Amino acid sequence: MCHFDRTICHFDRMICHFDRSGEIHSVFSILTAERKKSMKKSFCFLCVVFAALILTACSGNGKGGAGTPGLLFTPIYTESTVTAYSVSKGTATAADVVIPGVYKGKPVTEVADEGFKDYLTLTSVTIPSSVNSVGSSAFSNTGLWNNAENNSVVYADKWAIGRKGSIGTAVVLRVDTVGIGDEAFLYGSGLTSIALPSGLTSIGSWAFGNCGKLAGIELPSSVIRIGNGAFNNCSSLIEVEIPLGVTSLGSRVFGQCGSLTNIKVVENNAAYKDIDGVLFDKAGTELICYPENKSGISYIIPSSVINIREYAFWYCRSLTSIEIASKVTYIGEGAFRHCSGLISVDFAAGSTLTYIGAYALSHCYSLSSMEIPSSVISIGEGAFSYCDGLISIIIPLGVTSIRDYTFYGCNNLSGIVIPLSVTSIGDSAFRIWRGFAVYYGGTSQAAWDDISIHHNDNYLSATPYYYCTVYQAGCWRYVDSVPTLW
């Protein structure tokens, strides 16, 4: 990026000063009166022209100033602050498009999904170095595809964005390739190897998703960003190493890699590390990915972990038991989804867990029971759906909503405790094909009637048992932490 606050032009003994806007603020001269009169006007004009040239070069990507007219820029927010922009076609009609590196003082970092789709007259595009992501189908059905030979990789500037025809079993990218666009090689079923050049910095989301025969890949040290699902369902991938420069890893990067036994991280990587082949952030507070084919049937999450990232244990079918550390407050979406062999999930004493994400334990068919920590206040949609082996569960006091599909398909559920704090029950939360007992934390039918129950939950018992501390017919209490009828 180019910066300047003041430019000073010297011509003979006259000095012009102007700021980044190009406005002249003062002119000083120690010339003779005659020379001042004849030269001042022409010289300062040259200064202004010089400033304009500098400002133009600094306003864009250094290759085209402010970029092609008509481009549409969409703000990217961090919390409520605009930190960058994505770009798309807008009303642009030029055959040769130049994307600027800066717009309204912020970097242009993304080419939007389908951003230039169906731009049939587009023959070339210049993408600035500020861009770190080229979205899905960003240049589909454009003239760029005419630039590629049959059975070869298609490029947008220095970004590999797809393949034309069949690319066979091996791909060698151009040596000047800086990025691979989202879904560029998705469903490359015949791909067994790919050579990534040393200057590559970004691998897009799902770039190699479902490349089932890709058995190995060497990531160059220049790589900085790897997008969501970049190698998802690369079922032949056995081992990977995260290089030194990687600072951004998306969700499910190595999800459903059924042969993956080990994830290594180069020792001096500043953002990530591995512990015994399991991927963590550098501080060890977030567990990012557990290899699906890692040896062993049980796992104890390290005591430093606070967050379990979404889909961290996705499809780890061989795991039968897991112990979650006391500092863990967050279990992400789908974190244990399809862990079909998982029998027990235990929480260390003093658990501080507050959030169980959507579908976090969905399709854990072997899970028969789980004691949810009393600290939990939020359980996401479908969190226990299709846990066919689940027999009983106690929802802790503090949870206010049982969301859509939370226990959908838990067909062997015989009893559940719903606390007094619950005020709503969502769509098909208890779509179960058999009767089950509801132990309600309230003491009366009136309290139960105050709960907003979605009309599709007609499988939920209409006459729950109410809680009481002294004998009363049709009520329940805890006996050794087990809900029991009087």
Would you state the pLDDT for residue 62? 36
Does the structure show a pLDDT above 50 at 245? yes
Q: What is the pLDDT of residue 13?
A: 35
Does residue 454 fall inside a structural domain? no
267 part of a folded domain = no
Mean pLDDT in residue range 71-98: 97
pLDDT of residue 17: 41
Mean pLDDT of 415-438: 89
- Band (pLDDT 50/70/90 cuts) for residue 45 is very low
More confidently predicted of 59 and 441: 441
Last residue of a domain, which of 17, 36, 59? 59
What would the mean pLDDT of 401-407 be, rounded to a whole number? 96
Q: Is 90 exceeded by the pLDDT of residue 154?
A: yes
47 pLDDT above the threshold of 50? no
pLDDT digit string, tens, across residues 222-240? 999 999 999 999 999 999 9
User: Over 50: is that where the pLDDT of 341 sits?
Assistant: yes
Would you state the pLDDT for residue 308? Answer: 98
Asked if the model's pLDDT at residue 11 lies above 50, the reply is no
Q: How crowded is residue 429: how many other Cβ atoms within 10 Å of its Cβ?
A: 26
Count Cα atoms within 13 angstroms, Cβ side, for 274.
Answer: 20
pLDDT of residue 369: 87
Let me know whether 17 and 51 are in one domain.
yes
Q: Is residue 97 assigned to a domain? A: yes
φ, ψ of residue 422 to 5 degrees: the values are: -70, 125
Task: For residue 462, name the pLDDT band (cuts at 50, 70, 90).
Answer: low
Residue 76 and residue 52 share a domain: no
The pLDDT value given to residue 457: 66
223 within 8 A of 199, measured Cβ to Cβ: no
84 falls within a domain? yes
The answer to whether residue 18 sits within a structural domain is yes
Whether residue 24 is contained in a domain is answered as yes
pLDDT of residue 209: 96
Residue 117 lies in a domain: yes
Whether 194 is in a domain gets the answer no
Mark which of 114, 134, 154 sits at the end of a domain.
134
111-120 residue pLDDT tens: 999 999 999 9
Does 370 score more than 60 pLDDT? yes
Same domain, 128 and 78: yes
Mean pLDDT is lowest, of 176-180, 196-200, 426-430, 432-436, for 432-436
Q: Has residue 56 got a pLDDT over 60?
A: no
Q: pTM of the prediction?
A: 0.84
Q: Indicate if 15 and 46 belong to the same structural domain.
A: yes
Q: What is the predicted pLDDT for the residue at 432?
A: 78
- Least confident window among 199-208, 270-279, 293-302, 429-438: 429-438
> To 10 degrees, the CA torsion angle through 397, 400, 401, 407?
0
Q: What is the mean pLDDT of residues 348-358?
A: 98
> Do 50 and 85 fall within a single domain?
no
With cut-offs at 50, 70 and 90, classify the pLDDT of residue 460: low
Of 293, 281, 193, give the one whose Cα is nearest residue 242.
Answer: 281
Stretch 64-85: mean pLDDT, rounded? 91
Of 33 and 356, more confident? 356
Q: What are phi and psi of 121, to 5 degrees?
A: -90, 0
- From the number of C-beta atoms within 10 Å of its C-beta (0-12, 13-18, 19+), residue 213 rates as middle
Residues with Cβ within 8 Å of residue 446, at least 6 apart in sequence:
none
Same domain, 54 and 76: no
pLDDT at 435 over 90: no
Give strand ranges (E) for 48-192. Answer: 72-78, 81-88, 96-98, 102-103, 106-111, 124-126, 133-134, 152-156, 159-164, 170-172, 179-180
Reported as a pLDDT band with limits 50, 70 and 90, residue 399 is very high
Average confidence (pLDDT) over 352-376: 96
**Number of domains forming the structure of the chain:** 2
Q: Which of 134, 161, 184 is the last residue of a domain?
A: 134
Average pLDDT along the chain? 87
Which residues constitute the domain of residue 126?
Answer: 72-134
**Which tokens belong to 52?**
């304009």
Examine the domain organization and report whether 89 and 38 are in the same domain: no
The mean per-residue pLDDT over the stretch 261-272 comes to: 97
